[in-house]
Chain A
Amino acid sequence: AQSVTQLGSHVSVSEGALVLLRCNYSSSVPPYLFWYVQYPNQGLQLLLKYTSAATLVKGINGFEAEFKKSETSFHLTKPSAHMSDAAEYFCAVSETGTGRRALTFGSGTRLQVQP
Chain B
Amino acid sequence: EPEVTQTPSHQVTQMGQEVILRCVPISNHLYFYWYRQILGQKVEFLVSFYNNEISEKSEIFDDQFSVERPDGSNFTLKIRSTKLEDSAMYFCASIKEHSGANVLTFGAGSRLTVL
Contact = CB atoms under 8 A, between A and B. Distances in A.
Interface in A40-86: 42-46, 49, 51-53
Contacts of B43: 44, 90, 92, 105, 108
A111 to B, nearest CB: 15
Given A90-B43, A102-B33, A107-B42, A43 B91 contact: yes
B100 A32 contact: yes
Interface residues of B, number: 24
Contact of B108 (A42, A90, A101, A107): A42
Interface residues of A, number: 24
B48 interface: yes
11 contacts: A42-B108, A43-B106, A44-B93, A51-B101, A53-B100, A90-B42, A92-B43, A101-B31, A101-B48, A101-B95, A107-B41
Contact of A105 (B44, B56, B107): B44
Contacts, number: 52
Interface of A: 32, 34, 36, 42-46, 49, 51-53, 90, 92, 96, 100-108
Interface of B: 31, 33, 35, 41-45, 48, 56, 58, 91, 93, 95, 98, 100-101, 103-109
The 4 A-B pairs with the shortest beta carbon distances in the complex, nearest first, are: A51-B100, A43-B108, A44-B106, A105-B43
Contacts of B95: 101
Contacts of A45: 106
Contacts of A96: 100
Contact of B45 (A103, A106, A108): A103
